[in-house]
Structure 1
Amino acid sequence: MLGTVIAASSAAVLAGPAAGLLGYRQLKRISRGRQLRITAANGIEESGFVRIGGIDQWISVRGDDRDNPVILEIHGGPSAANHVFAPRTRTWERHFTIVRWDMRGAGRTFAAHGPDGQGEMSLEQVYDDALEVTQHVRARLGVDTVVLVANSFGTVTGLRLARNHPEFFSAYVGTDQNICGGGRDDSVYRALLERLRTSGKRKDLAAATGMGPDRAAWSPEQWSTFAKLVITSDPLSYDTMKTVVIRSLWFSPLHTLRGLRSYLQGMTFSERIAPGAVTIDEWDEGTEFRLPFFVFQGACDVLTPPEAARRFYDDVRAPVKDFALIEDASHFASFRRPEVFLDLMLTKVRPLVTGEPMKDRFNVA
C-alpha cells in the first residue's frame, strides 16, 4: 500500500541529485556503514540468496552474539524491505540476532529477477515462502524457535504464521499491526475524510469520496492513492515518511542509487498483492494463539489505528499477551522510536523467551 507514497516522495532526489548532494550522501553512507560493522568475537554477519519457493530470495543474518534469541522479521509494504533501516536498529543486534528477508517482489530479490522473474505474487505464496524461510533459519542457526516480528502489511502474514505454526515461534510481536475485519471496518476511511474536510483539501477530499469506503471495489492504484492520502494528511505520519523512511532510503549504506531505484520499482510492482487482504477476517481465522502474543503499536497511527489492534488483542487468547503504545509514533513506529521498541522487547519479550532476568529498561545499549 505504501509503495507509491515512498516512491513519489523519493522521486526528486533519485531523478537528478546534484553533485553536492551526492557527496553528502556518500559521506553519510560511509559513516553508517562503519556503524553497521560487527566485530564481536561471537557475532554473525552474513547475507545472500537462498532458494525459497522456487526462486532465489535475499536473506541477511546479523547480531553481536550468536547465543542471543533470533528474530525473524516479516516486512511490510507490500515489499518495503527492512534492510534500509539497519543503521536505525543497530542496537537491536546487541540483544537479538536479526534475520531480514527481502520477500519476492522486494529489495534485492526483486532486483535479481526483475518483474518477470518473481513467480506467483499472492498472499498465499508469501505465506508459503515465509514458512520455508522459517525452516531455513531454524536449520541454519540451529534453533528450535524464533521470535516472529511482523510490521505493517507483513502482519497479515505474521498473524497467520503465529496462529497456524506456534511450534516454530517462541513469541509473536506485531507492530503497525493490520487488523483485517472482512471489510466491515471503515474507520480509517472516515477519519481520512474528516481530516481532509478540516484542512480544506477539497481536491483530495473529492478523490477520497469518489473511491467510496468499500475497499473490495478499489483497484491497486486506488489502494495506493488511499495510502498516500492517509499518510500525507496526518502531520506526524508525513514527518515520519520524510525524516525516517526517505532518509533511511537515501542514506542506506547497503544500497546504491541503482539499488534504490530497484527497491522502489519493486514496491510499486508488488502492490498488486494488497487487495488480497480485503476478504480476510481475523476473527474468523481465529483468536486463539498458542504462543506469547504481543502488539506494540504507534499511539498516533492513522493507517493501522491502535484502536482496531486493541479490539482484536482483547479477543485474543494466548498463554501470555501484552499490548503497549509507542508514544510520538504513527505508522513505522518501531523505526521512528527504535529505542522504545527495543526497550519493550527487552522488558516484555526477551525475558519470556530466554528465561533470563529482565534487562534494565534504562540500559539498552
Structure 2
Amino acid sequence: MTNIEEQRFIRVGGIDQWIQIRGGNRDNPVLLVLHGGPGSPYALFTPLLREWEEHFTVVQWDRRGAGKTLGRNGREGCGEMSFERCAQDAVEVVEFLRGHLDKDKVVLLAGSMGTMIGTPLVQRRPDLFEAYVATDLYVDMVDNEAESYRLALLKNPKAAKALAAIGPDPTAWDHKAWEVKMRWSMDNAVLGKLFMPLVLKREVYGWRDLRHVLAGFGYSKKALFDDFMGFSAEPDFEVPVVFLQGADDEVTVRSLAEAYFARVTAPSKRMALIPDAGHFAAFTRPDRFLAELLGAVERP
C-alpha cells in the first residue's frame, strides 16, 4: 500500500492548470472532482475529506479562470472561457490521470455548476468513466432559477423588495440580477460556518491564493453567464449514474433533480437524499455523503 500526495501544474488546453492528488492507496479508484461556482475550487474542502482519501485517490482541479490556475495565468492568459472548452480540458486531465496513475477509467464527481460540464462530458466520452456521481445537480437552469426564486421569496419575506426588483423571469436577468437571487437562496449562516474555518486554516490556499479564488469566482460568473443560463441536461447515459442531493437544497432544486432522475436512462442509476443538508451536501455532511458514495460506486 502506497499513498500519494501531490500538487502540481500540468499543461492542459494550452495553459498551465493546477491539480491536487491525494489518497491513502494508489490502487484505489480515482475520483476526479469537478468544482462548481462556476469558479469556486473545491480543494478548499480538502481537510474535510480525509476519510474519502482512504477509499479513493481524490483529484481536485482548479479549472481555467479559477483558483491557482487563474493565479498562474491571469485573466487574459486563461484563454477561451466556455463550458465546451472546460469539457475539452477535462478530457485532457483524465488522459493525464490515466497515464500518471495507471488507471483505465476514473469516477467523475461533479458538483453544482460542475454538473453543467460533467453531465455532457460523461455522455460524450463514456469510455473514460467508471461512473458519474452528481451532487447539487443542475438540470435546466431557467426552470431551476424560476423555482429557486419562488422558494427564496417564500422563505425570506425580507427578500421581497430585492427579488421584485429583478423579477421572476430568469431569462430577463443579467449576472448581477442572478447574484441577487443567489444571495437569498444560499443559507449564509451555514456557508459561514463551513467556509471560514477552512479559509483561516490555509491548508491548500495561502492568502495570495485566496485572493485568486475570490477573483476567479467573480470573473468566471461573468465570463460563463450565458453558458450556464442556457444549460439544459439530456437524460441518456452509458455509464452508471449516482445523484446525491441535499434534502433541503433550494439552490439546485431537489424536485427538479428527482424529476430528471425519473427520466434518466443508464446501465444503473441511484439517487439518495442527504438528510439535514442543503447545497454543498458533500462538504456539510462529508461522512454521510461518503457512505452513500461507497454504497453506490463499485470498488475492487
Shorter-chain TM-score: what band? over 0.9
Distance in 2, Cα, partners of 1:183 & 1:240? 25
Partner of 1:241: 191
Q: What are the within-5 Å matches in structure 2 for residues 1-365 of structure 1?
A: 42-180=2-140, 183=143, 186-197=146-157, 201=158, 204-231=159-186, 237-272=187-222, 273-282=224-233, 286-349=234-297, 352=298, 354=299, 356=300
The 1-side partners of 2:173 and 2:156 are apart by 20
Q: Which amino acid aligns with 1:334?
A: A
On the 8 A contact 1:78/1:274 being kept in 2, the answer is: no
TM-superposed deviation, 1:182: 5.4
Output the amino acid matched with 1:239.
A
CA deviations over 1:230-253 (Å, ceiling 9, x no partner): 11xxxxx22320111232222231
1:183–1:214 contact (8 Å) kept in structure 2 = no
**Structure 1: distance between partners of 2:152 and 2:197:** 26
2: CA distance between counterparts of 1:195 and 1:220?
22
Does the C-alpha gap of structure 1 residues 280 and 255 become closer, same or farther in structure 2, counting only changes over 3 Å? closer
Residue type matched to 1:157 in 2? I
Instruction: Using the TM superposition, give the Cα deviation of residue 214 of structure 1 relative to its aligned residue in structure 2, in angstroms.
Output: 2.5
Instruction: Please report the RMSD computed on the Cα atoms of aligned residues, expressed in angstroms.
Output: 1.5
Contact 2:33–2:109 (CA under 8 A) maintained in structure 1: yes
The answer to whether the 8 A contact 1:180-1:277 is kept is no
Residues 301-337 of structure 1, C-alpha deviations (whole Å, 9 max, x = no match): 0101211111101100111110000011000000000
Shift of 1:258: 1.8
Distance 1:142 1:184, change over 3 A: closer
Give 5+ residue unaligned stretches, structure 1: 1-40, 232-236, 357-365
Q: Which segments of 5 or more consecutive residues in structure 2 lack a partner in the other structure?
A: none
Paired residues in the alignment total 299
Displacement after TM superposition at 1:80 (Å): 0.7
Distance (Å, rounded) in 2 between the aligned partners of 1:308 and 1:342:
23
Pick the structure with greater CA Rg.
1
TM-score in terms of structure 1 length: 0.79
Mapped partners of 1:69, 1:268: distance in 2: 33
Question: Are the counterparts in 2 of residues 230 and 302 from structure 1 also a CA contact under 8 Å?
Answer: yes
**What amino acid is aligned across from residue 119 of structure 2 in structure 1?**
L
Letter in 1 for 2:228: A
TM-score, length of structure 2 as denominator length: 0.95
CA contact (8 A) 1:85 1:335 kept: yes
Q: What's the secondary structure of 1:150's corresponding residue?
A: strand
